[in-house]
């Protein structure tokens, strides 16, 4: 059985969503952030030294990093959610977004979140952060206009991987249908998927 550790308001919704898309049974363990520090429970460090979520327990292993967890689940259960190498354009676009989501876009959005929290103290870096976030979001907007989904004509796990930074962009970086119509179109299409909605219902804190 696949056991998924989920943290409220976090990246780990993506793993639940993927499992719902695949229709593979899983056990969900819900964890809550500390209300003051927003940190995950420290006890999670017994499971993995960083104690960050998502974490997945499967076949006697503990998997960390959303991208790796997605790759593992696709390899074992749903290779069709990644474009095959024979479709070179979609395949390499897919692989690009799989890296870009956590490797490039999330760091910029986190910098913005921190700078916003710092208020006046962040004055020296505010311009740079703003310019970089704009550069990235304008780029994603242009790419998102090329096809119905991020990797091409078919929905893929790259859309799942990119969903979190795109949702953060709407919540924290001023992305709207007026400023970024292609991003918001893809995001709406993601959120309209029945599997996404089942994942949100599953993840909801029942406590």
Stretch that binds ligand GSH, among 51-59, 75-83, 142-150, 193-201 (CB under 6 A): 51-59
169 belongs to the binding site for ligand GSH (CB under 6 A)? no
Contacts to ligand GSH from residues 116-145, by CB under 6 A: none
Nearest to 84 by CA among 178, 152, 163, 9: 152
Among residues 66 and 156, whose Cβ is nearest to ligand GSH? 66
Question: What is the DSSP code (8-state) at residue 105?
Answer: I
Contacts to ligand GSH from residues 27-46, by CB under 6 A: 39-40
- CA end-to-end distance (rounded Å), the chain: 24
Q: How far is CA 68 from CA 23, 72, 102, 127, in A?
A: 19, 6, 11, 34
Helices 66-77, 13-22: inter-axial angle, 10-degree rounding: 10
Residues 6+ away with beta carbon under 8 Å from 199: 13, 16, 17, 19, 20
Query: What would the x/- binding string for ligand GSH be over residues 87 to 116, using CB under 6 A?
Result: ---------------x--------------
Which of 13, 18, 22, 53 contacts ligand GSH by CB under 6 A?
53
Q: Considering the complex, what minimum distance in angstroms separates the CB of residue 40 from ligand GSH?
A: 4
10 belongs to the binding site for ligand GSH (CB under 6 A)? yes
Q: Considering the complex, what minimum distance in angstroms separates the CB of residue 18 from ligand GSH?
A: 13
**Cα–Cα dist 75/166, whole Å:** 25
Q: Sheet containing 55-58: give its strands across.
A: 26-31, 2-7, 55-58, 61-64
Which of 4, 5, 6, 11 contacts ligand GSH by CB under 6 A?
11
Q: Which residues bind ligand GSH (CB under 6 A)?
A: 7, 10-11, 39-40, 52-54, 65-66, 102
């Amino acid at each position: 059985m696949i056991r998924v550790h989920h943290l409220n308001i976090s990246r780990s919704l993506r793993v639940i969503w993927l499992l719902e898309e695949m229709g593979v049974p899983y056990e969900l363990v819900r964890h809550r952030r500390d209300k003051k520090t927003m940190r995950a429970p420290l006890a999670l460090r017994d499971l993995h030294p960083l104690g960050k979520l998502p974490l997945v327990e499967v076949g006697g292993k503990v998997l960390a990093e959303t991208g790796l967890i997605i790759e593992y689940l696709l390899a074992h259960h749903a290779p069709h959610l990644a474009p095959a190498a024979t479709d070179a354009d979609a395949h390499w676009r897919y692989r690009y977004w799989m890296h870009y989501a956590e490797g490039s876009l999330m760091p910029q959005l986190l910098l913005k979140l921190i700078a916003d929290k710092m208020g006046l103290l962040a004055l020296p870096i505010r311009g740079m952060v703003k310019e970089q976030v704009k550069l990235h979001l304008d780029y994603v907007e242009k790419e998102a206009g090329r096809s119905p989904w991020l990797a091409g004509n078919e929905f893929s796990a790259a859309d799942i991987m990119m969903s979190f930074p795109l949702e953060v962009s709407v919540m924290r970086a001023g992305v709207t249908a007026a400023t970024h119509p292609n991003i918001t179109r893809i995001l709406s299409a993601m959120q309209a998927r029945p599997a996404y909605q089942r994942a949100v219902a599953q993840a909801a804190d029942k406590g």
